[in-house]
Structure 1
Amino acid sequence: MYPVKAAAELSGLTPETLRAWERRHGAVVPIRDAQGRRLYDAAMVERLAKLHRLTDRGHPIRDLARLDDAALDALLEERRNAGYGGLDGLPGQLLDAVADYRVDVFDRELSVAIATLPLPVLLARVVMPLLGEVGQRWADGRLAIAQERLVSSMLRARLLSILNQHPRERRPRVLFATLSGEPHELGLLGAALHLHELGQPVLYLGTELPAPELARVANRLGAASVAVSSVDPGQARAALDALRELDAALDPGIPVWLGGANARYLGEALALPRVRAVTDPQVFARHVSHARRAA
């Protein structure tokens, strides 16, 4: 708990501004101690810092104060993304380069985007639209199988380089993998990058890892949790057996998160306490964060 002066300093405000926001707009509701002094917890300080950033960008405090924390986060993300114009055409330009087998152009433009864009902007404005365009062009015959494989392999290599910047991370990590028979990984890789951007330690193990081996690694490292993706409908039955095997082999207290097109079906069919389907990266990040704090 922080007194007024400390809460103001941590959030970048003056004590006078903090008191005015509290009194006039109800931006936060402090706790009173036995002597009647106002105290602020960490969540209140974080909220005040968000309000400070947004008022600096021109939003009036009277409008912001009535928003909840999720709405403030969305507004901050919207403002951050809006600062990067000219990105809408980049996925198409990248695929045009691949269509002409100009691999050097594709790699150069992708590398520049990775080096210059914040990760949330990169994923939302470049990577996900690029994957959608790949699927569309492959379906209508504008992209050959070899070209689709080329995009996937180059994108995978560049994105993995982001995750591998801290290979000696020792804290309990979230392990990411697909099970045997599941070669599709770009969605899984995107989820790992999203968690990495939020400061959660991750370890990306790749595709087609047998359940006993995944459990062995998780138990040996004392993993915070295990994230598994299942996309291929033809592998759903095999995934059920593999997940039951994983559940039996994992140490107690290690949750399993399911993502991908099969996640909801697998979660409902298994009905295992530690196995949970989650398809929204932001919801997934909140669950992982809450689980770590509880531990």
Structure 2
Amino acid sequence: MFPVKAAAELSGLSPETLRAWERRHAAVVPLRDDKGRRLYDAAMVERLTRLHRLTDRGHPIRDLAGLEDAALDQLLEESRHAGYGGVETLPERMLDAIADYRVDVFDRDLSVAIATLPMSVLVSRVVMPLLREVGVRWADGRLAIAQERLVSSLLRARFLSVLNQHPREQRPRLLFATLPGEPHELGLLGAALYAHDAGAPVLYLGTELPALELARVAERLQVMAVALSSVDPGQAPAALAELRVLDEALAPGVPVWLGGANARYLAEALALERVQALTDPAALSRLIRREATSPRGRRAARQAA
């Protein structure tokens, strides 16, 4: 059971908003302890998370509060698969702008996409096709190195602005980083945005962090998980060594989630219970909800509260 502050943190709301939704709309009906204080179970936290995501996408809370959880899930699914006119041609248009060094056009289109699209649609139908097209155009000579660097720097700047747009009132509970020798981070940033969209307080540490340093930060913040990306095949042996060090140094029960081209190989080679490869970005949201309602996640939420 979670008190008000912890339930608000887990669902991405402020305590004031949570109380207002209860009082005005009966969005959830909390339980009470023997002193009359509100308590919320895991199902209530899940419902609040759904409501938060839908209100972020323009649905009024007054229209959502009376709906069953299944109806809320249906609305979320419809928003993921909506047409979003023009989104399929957006990556090509953005790269055409970069080819002419029209940085303002690229940045404007990217900003509008970030502001208007659900995160799953933004990553799967804009960012990932954009990165694939960058690779194709670079390989066949239609994109210069400077233009490729422009795309990377603009994406990085906008993604980090999303992750850092709110004051850090909540203790970070999910770390994102790459290991030494891994400078590529756009996939990692995309995963961090998924986690942010799922309501997890994220600390993005960037690239090339030694395993021991990661373990120290994780211990200091009592995080619920560490998320890493590894994409360079040439770095796989070094990544295996660093992951073994991380496993030794990390507190028991803290999972390590691996993404990137090397993820499946690394997870299978290590065969460690805490290390899991994620090939589907959407699975990250499910893992976050599972860890948040685990005994360790509950303890961390109480400490943060």
- Give the alignment's TM-score, normalised by structure 1: 0.74
The question of 1:90 aligning with 2:105 is answered no
Other-structure match for 1:142: 142
Asked if 1 retains the 8 angstrom alpha-carbon contact of 2:194 and 2:284, the reply is: no
Question: Which string of whole-angstrom CA distances, capped at 9 and with x for unpartnered residues, describes residues 14-55 of structure 1?
Answer: xxxxxxxxxxxxxxxxxxxxxxxxxxx948x95xx99xx9xx
The DSSP-based 3-state class of the residue aligned with 2:293 is: helix
Q: 1:169 to 1:179 in 2, by over 3 A?
A: farther
Other-structure match for 1:180: 180
Looking at structure 1, the residues matched to 113 and 213 of structure 2 have their Cα atoms a distance apart, in angstroms, of: 35
Q: Give the drift of 1:196.
A: 0.7
Looking at structure 1, the residues matched to 227 and 190 of structure 2 have their Cα atoms a distance apart, in angstroms, of: 12
The question of 1:102 aligning with 2:94 is answered no
Q: Give the drift of 1:77.
A: 2.6
Asked if 1 retains the 8 angstrom alpha-carbon contact of 2:173 and 2:202, the reply is: yes
Amino acid at match of 1:149: R
Q: Give the drift of 1:253.
A: 2.1
Asked if 1 retains the 8 angstrom alpha-carbon contact of 2:79 and 2:118, the reply is: no
Other-structure match for 2:265: 265
Percentage of matched positions with identical amino acids? 70
The question of 1:274 aligning with 2:278 is answered no
Other-structure match for 1:77: 77
Q: 1:264 to 1:169 in 2, by over 3 A?
A: farther
Q: 1:136 to 1:75 in 2, by over 3 A?
A: farther
Q: Structure 2 matches for 1:1-295, cutoff 5 A?
A: 42=43, 73=73, 76-294=76-294, 295=296
The DSSP-based 3-state class of the residue aligned with 2:143 is: coil
**Greater mean alpha carbon deviation, residues 173-182 or residues 87-96:** 87-96
Looking at structure 1, the residues matched to 195 and 287 of structure 2 have their Cα atoms a distance apart, in angstroms, of: 11
Q: Give the drift of 1:288.
A: 2.4
Asked if 2 retains the 8 angstrom alpha-carbon contact of 1:169 and 1:201, the reply is: no
Q: Give the drift of 1:259.
A: 0.9
Asked if 1 retains the 8 angstrom alpha-carbon contact of 2:226 and 2:256, the reply is: yes
Gap regions ≥5 residues in structure 2: 1-21, 29-41, 55-67, 297-305
Looking at structure 2, the residues matched to 266 and 169 of structure 1 have their Cα atoms a distance apart, in angstroms, of: 35
The DSSP-based 3-state class of the residue aligned with 2:87 is: coil
Looking at structure 2, the residues matched to 221 and 42 of structure 1 have their Cα atoms a distance apart, in angstroms, of: 26
**Greater mean alpha carbon deviation, residues 103-112 or residues 187-196:** 103-112
- Give the alignment's TM-score, normalised by structure 2: 0.72
Q: 1:155 to 1:171 in 2, by over 3 A?
A: same
Amino acid at match of 1:95: L
Asked if 2 retains the 8 angstrom alpha-carbon contact of 1:254 and 1:274, the reply is: yes
Looking at structure 1, the residues matched to 135 and 72 of structure 2 have their Cα atoms a distance apart, in angstroms, of: 34
Asked if 2 retains the 8 angstrom alpha-carbon contact of 1:233 and 1:262, the reply is: yes
Amino acid at match of 2:170: R
CA RMSD of aligned residues (A): 3.1
Amino acid at match of 1:130: L
Looking at structure 2, the residues matched to 213 and 251 of structure 1 have their Cα atoms a distance apart, in angstroms, of: 13
Looking at structure 2, the residues matched to 264 and 74 of structure 1 have their Cα atoms a distance apart, in angstroms, of: 31
Q: 1:152 to 1:166 in 2, by over 3 A?
A: same
Looking at structure 2, the residues matched to 42 and 215 of structure 1 have their Cα atoms a distance apart, in angstroms, of: 31
Count of residues in Structure 1 that have an aligned counterpart in Structure 2: 246
Q: Give the drift of 1:79.
A: 4.3
**Greater mean alpha carbon deviation, residues 110-119 or residues 124-133:** 110-119
Q: Give the drift of 1:87.
A: 1.6
Q: Give the drift of 1:116.
A: 2.8
Amino acid at match of 2:133: E
Looking at structure 1, the residues matched to 162 and 250 of structure 2 have their Cα atoms a distance apart, in angstroms, of: 28
Other-structure match for 2:57: none
Other-structure match for 1:38: none
Q: 1:197 to 1:109 in 2, by over 3 A?
A: same
Deviating beyond 6 angstroms after TM superposition, the runs of 4 or more aligned structure 1 residues are none
Q: Give the drift of 1:101.
A: 1.2
Amino acid at match of 2:180: S
Question: Which string of whole-angstrom CA distances, capped at 9 and with x for unpartnered residues, describes residues 212-264 of structure 1?
Answer: 11111111111111001110000000000000111111122211111111111
Amino acid at match of 1:248: E
Asked if 1 retains the 8 angstrom alpha-carbon contact of 2:171 and 2:221, the reply is: no
Amino acid at match of 2:165: Q
The DSSP-based 3-state class of the residue aligned with 2:272 is: coil
Q: Give the drift of 1:113.
A: 2.1
